[in-house]
Amino acid sequence: MNKLAYLKIGELAKQTGLTVGALRYYSDIGLLQPVLIGDNGYRYYAANASEQVEFIKKAQSLGFTLEEIKQILDVRNGGEIPCDLVQSLLENKIEQLAIQIKQMTLFKGELEEYRASWANKPESNLKQEEVCPLIDSVPLH
């Protein structure tokens, strides 16, 4: 194999804007496979490896985790089109976001209630063991 036809990890880093460490990590977890690892330990990647890195970046921008991206790539590397998996993962993400939005909305309301009740609370004498009487007044749930 002619090593000149492949990209060294540093060259791939320059092309993609990722660090060498990030690319090594992608390689270590199976997201990006070097075509060849030289006797010197250098990782050599196919000329189109930047396209795979771009795919990974796009998937991350949609909120997919590296583990989910690995699942998608594994399906594709197995010869199948992973679009059904992608749609299923996306549906799960939308459901999780809906739950988080509801939780955050409830939490925001709770914080607004504290703000309103604390605004009218007179200064109190600080006990020696207290840091802030306002926070100390909050019950743990």
pTM for the model: 0.77
- The single-letter code of the amino acid at 96 is Q
Each residue's pLDDT, cut to its tens digit, for the chain (141 residues) gives: 555 689 999 999 999 999 999 999 999 999 999 998 888 888 899 999 999 999 999 999 999 999 999 999 999 999 999 999 999 999 999 999 999 999 999 999 999 999 998 888 766 676 777 788 888 888 887
Question: Which letter, b or e, does each residue of 29-53 get, where b requires 16 or more Cβ atoms within 10 Å of its Cβ?
Answer: eebbebeeeeeeeebbbbeebbebb
